[in-house]
Amino acid sequence: MSKLFNEIKTPEIVKEISTGEFETIYNINIWSRYDEDRELCEMLQFCKFINNIELASYIDELFYDSKASLCFIKSIELDKDAKAGTELEAIRTIALLTISQFQFQGVIGHQNPYLSRKIQVMI
């Protein structure tokens, strides 16, 4: 059981859905296969930043596959005619700043440690 999320009661967590799966105040569910605090923290930080730029409605859920060390970012289904390129690029940029390794829109990305240390303070 995740000590950080289950014992400390992180305020951004609305409820625990199942072991390692949580509903957030941002209406984005986060889930770590093995209930890893580091993974949950990365996903929660991603949710906070996405919410700050008003793009939380584009994200359905985040699943961190602990075995693969890969976070799957599931976006909502977009209409084929929707022009959301700028929004999707912003989401990818936030992932680059907050999540160690992720898959978004079928593309694998890796956190940029140089940018993430400096820019997070500014967001």
52-102 residue pLDDT tens? 999 999 999 999 999 999 999 999 887 665 677 899 999 999 999 999 999
Calculate the alpha carbon distances from 94 to 36, 103, 116 in Å.
Answer: 21, 13, 9
Q: Share the mean pLDDT of the chain.
A: 87
CA distance 87 to 71: 19
CA distance 34 to 26: 22
CA distance 111 to 93: 9
Calculate the alpha carbon distances from 20 to 4, 56, 79, 108, 111 in Å.
Answer: 11, 21, 31, 23, 22
Q: Across-strand partners of 103?
A: 72, 108
Q: Which residue has the tokens 């890893």?
A: 36
Q: Across-strand partners of 21?
A: 18, 31
- Can you give the pLDDT at residue 116? 73
Q: How confident is the model at residue 5 (pLDDT cuts 50, 70, 90)?
A: low
Asked if pLDDT for residue 2 goes beyond 60, the answer is no
**Average pLDDT of the residues in 109-123:** 73
Give the type of residue at 79: D
